[in-house]
Amino acid sequence: MSESVTRAEYCVVACAEAWRGDGEILASPMGTVPTIGARLAKLTFSPDLLLTDGEAMLIGDVPAVGSGSRVTEGWLPYRRHLAMVAGGRRHVMMGASQLDRHGNQNISCVGDWAKPRRQLLGVRGAPVNTLNNPTSYWVPRHSPRVFVDKVDMVSGVGYDRAAAASPMTTRFHEIRRVITDLAVLDFATPDRSLRLLSVHPGVTADQVREATGFPLTVPDAVPHTRMPSAEELRLIREVLDPKGLRDREVRS
């Protein structure tokens, strides 16, 4: 079965695992693969997760990616969403244009902020996300351009900056997972720096090292990312993403 599982499907399962055990909180995935992952978690091991339609409604069903919901559970306009964020009742999986060894994230600009070479999304809600909610990151192209020694501008707050600010800053600060097209990583090291947790089948630890722009903590034995079960594969392929949109984000 492992030969028939695509890289994108391993990534979906890795994203889903980030929400394992979260209970009744809002899952906020950003990207196709994280969205499929959150919905897979909802249908399997995290049934209490709350999902939205991506706009202003809490949904009560789990539609395929790209399809509309048929069941509305509640209204979640922007102001209520912000209140939920401030209260810590959300686990967001954001993207990252740059990410450093301690989890500082940049989605704002590349180059000097006063005169950037490239303007990106802007800081948006990244600071309050990282300081009040569990936060994970999804990087569909693992490369030294993303995993950099120092981000050009801090949007999401990493472990070193949170610790340097104040004890109040670290109370709810948690960067749980970083999932990429090559591997799963976390920050479970004494200095809270990035550690290789698992590699997707067909990927080696050396490949991940070469694609990372700073020294990476790599255990002596690195397992493979968990393979989806037969039921999870059925849900991914037949229920959640029958159009195969996941393969546009992560190519095998």
Torsion angles phi and psi, residue 82, rounded to 5: -65, -40
- Strand, coil or helix: what is 199? strand
Mean pLDDT of 90-101: 96
Per-residue pLDDT reduced to its tens digit, 98-155? 999 999 999 999 999 889 999 898 888 899 889 999 999 999 999 999 999 999 999 9
- Residue 92 clears pLDDT 60, i.e. is over it: yes
- The count of other CB atoms within 10 Å of the CB of residue 43 is 18
155 within 8 A of 100, measured Cβ to Cβ: no
Mean pLDDT of 161-175: 91
Average pLDDT of the chain to the nearest whole number: 94
As a whole number of angstroms, the distance between CA 153 and CA 114 comes to 11
Percent of the residues in the chain that have a pLDDT greater than 90, as a whole number: 83
Instruction: Give the gyration radius of the chain's Cα atoms.
Output: 18
Show me where the domains of the chain are located: 2-247
Instruction: Please provide the CATH number assigned to the domain covering 2-247.
Output: 3.40.1080.10
Per-residue pLDDT reduced to its tens digit, 6-28? 999 999 999 999 999 999 999 99
Amino acid 3: pLDDT:
55
For residues 171 and 87, the model is more confident at 171
Mean pLDDT of 35-64: 95
Amino acid 2: pLDDT:
46
Amino acid 56: pLDDT:
87
| Torsion sign over Cα 107, 112, 113, 116 | negative
- Strand, coil or helix: what is 13? helix
- Residue 1 clears pLDDT 50, i.e. is over it: no
CA 113 to the chain's CA centroid: 25
- In 3D space, the residue among 109, 100, 80, 124 whose CA is nearest the CA of residue 175 turns out to be 100
Amino acid 187: pLDDT:
98
- Strand, coil or helix: what is 141? coil
> If pLDDT is split at 50, 70 and 90, which confidence band does 186 have?
very high
Amino acid 142: pLDDT:
98
- Residue 184 clears pLDDT 60, i.e. is over it: yes
As a whole number of angstroms, the distance between CA 82 and CA 158 comes to 21
Q: Residue 183 corresponds to which amino acid?
A: A
Mean pLDDT of 82-89: 81
Per-residue pLDDT reduced to its tens digit, 188-237? 999 999 999 999 999 999 999 999 999 999 999 999 999 999 999 999 99
